[in-house]
Amino acid sequence: MKALEKAQKDLERAKARLQNEQAKMKEKERKQDTRKKIVLGGALLAAAKANPQVADWLRAQIIPVYVAEKDRGLFGGE
């Protein structure tokens, strides 16, 4: 019976380690996704500042479709 109990505890520890590693991986992916959004947003803002055509494109095509209505005021419209 002792061997069975030990195996059960080992299994529970392994499951806990797996869950911990999965949580770490998910957190890392979330942080990378956030960083991508920040970098891309900065690049788009710089491009819009440098090129009026890019700014017009963002206002006409991107902001109305991909930006939440409550956040659109950040971009000088609506």
DSSP string, the chain: -HHHHHHHHHHHHHHHHHHHHHHHHHHHHHHHHHHHHHHHHHHHHHHHHH-HHHHHHIIIIIHHHHS-GGGGGGGT--
pLDDT of residue 45: 95
pLDDT of residue 1: 77
pLDDT of residue 6: 94
Query: Buried b / exposed e across 24-46, counting CB within 10 Å, b at 16+?
Result: eeeeeeeeeeeeeeeeeeeeeee
The verdict on pTM exceeding 0.85 is no
Residues of the chain with pLDDT under 50: 78
pLDDT of residue 76: 79
Per residue in 24-41, pLDDT (tens digit) is 999 999 999 999 999 999
pLDDT of residue 75: 86
